[in-house]
Chain A
């Protein structure tokens, strides 16, 4: 059974275990860091491909500050911008990627992460009639707010707060677009 404890062997065994474990972890990290990066890039590219028309090459990740908040976005030459926009939804953060063409027309949106109620707010990910209304939306002509608030967005039944958050996220992304055009 277990060896008798004294200060020397206690310190020795703890140091030894920590050394061996960090060595193992270092090796595993070295091996997996490449695939982890690839997986992240593949995920982002898949999202960008969904929100913008076909493009070639690797979009570059950039950051911009609008009204004191930082936004991450991807500049896709020839296609437009893919802006990541996060707002507070019903159950927690609701994170979208919004594709906006060079002309300022919204191309498509995709939910990156959410914590909305299953079967209610979570429908913002699946309900086609809700998601598809934003395809080809011109924020300059139509207001990004639910009809209840005097806008033009048809909310998901019984999920006004989620729909409101979704609209706000797109509106924020559009402001990012305006800022970027102004800078160019």
Chain B
């Protein structure tokens, strides 16, 4: 696969949200607004790229039977680094995303990429794979966030274009499932063409 293909495959062909259907929890929980979705996507991408790089480096020397625990420790380390950096420099964002930052550890996308890609490819390719999948995830979360924010609060990236409230159900729990479901329908429809 070309280097360019590695980056773009995450956007459509192997889109983590709409095609692989991985990492549903943060996808549903943090997309109450476009900005929140974008921030969550970027946070996940940070961990994904770094863990992909390190895992592709250490994979050849890690004994087969303990590779999962070793990968989890590596991922958890980067998640904790991210937690500390966010608390120090963007505490506001850390507070909004809350529990879902530490939960990146158990996001199946991160461990999934380590198992499916990083452990058998070169460092460079793994980094690009991390960027590609990370971008795909960020894009999906932002799109869901945009839809929910427009319908639910009548605003876009915080810029309000109607006075008063939107359809509140869309910023609450049911809206998350409904928007994701209908976007998936749309994605299927377009992808099948």
A and B touch in the complex (CB under 8 A): yes
User: Which residues of the partner chain B approach A64 to less than 8 Å between Cβ atoms?
Assistant: none
- Asked if residues B60 and A119 are in contact (CB atoms below 8 Å), the reply is no
Asked if A24 is at the interface (CB within 8 A of a chain B CB), the reply is: yes
> Which residue of A10, A14, A24, A40 is within 8 Å of B91 (Cβ)?
A40
Known: A21-B73, A24-B77, A118-B172. A5 touches B91 (CB 8 A): no
Known: A5-B63, A13-B63, A14-B66. A118 touches B171 (CB 8 A): yes
- Asked if residues B66 and A5 are in contact (CB atoms below 8 Å), the reply is yes
Question: Taking chain A's interface residues, is the majority helix, strand, or loop, or is none over half, making it mixed?
Answer: helix
> Which residue of A6, A13, A32, A35 is within 8 Å of B62 (Cβ)?
A13
* Chain B proximity mask over A22-65: 1 for CB below 8 Å, otherwise 0: 00110011001011100110010000000000000000000000
In this complex, how many residues of chain B approach chain A with their Cβ under 8 Å: the count is 34
Interface residues of B (CB under 8 A from A): 32, 58-67, 69-70, 73-74, 76-77, 80-81, 84-85, 87-89, 91, 95, 119-120, 152-153, 165, 168, 171-172
In this complex, how many residues of chain A approach chain B with their Cβ under 8 Å: the count is 29
A80 to chain B, nearest CB (A): 26
Asked if A17 is at the interface (CB within 8 A of a chain B CB), the reply is: yes
User: Which residues of the partner chain B approach A2 to less than 8 Å between Cβ atoms?
Assistant: 59-60, 62-64, 67, 119
- Asked if residues B70 and A17 are in contact (CB atoms below 8 Å), the reply is yes
Q: Can you give 12 A-B contacts (C-beta < 8 A)?
A: A1-B59, A10-B66, A13-B63, A17-B70, A25-B77, A25-B81, A28-B81, A28-B84, A35-B88, A40-B91, A43-B91, A118-B168
- Asked if residues A13 and B70 are in contact (CB atoms below 8 Å), the reply is yes
B101 to chain A, nearest CB (A): 14
- Asked if residues B74 and A6 are in contact (CB atoms below 8 Å), the reply is no
User: Which residues of the partner chain B approach A43 to less than 8 Å between Cβ atoms?
Assistant: 91
**Which residues from 68 to 89 on chain A have a C-beta closer than 8 Å to any C-beta of chain B?**
none
- Asked if residues A25 and B80 are in contact (CB atoms below 8 Å), the reply is yes
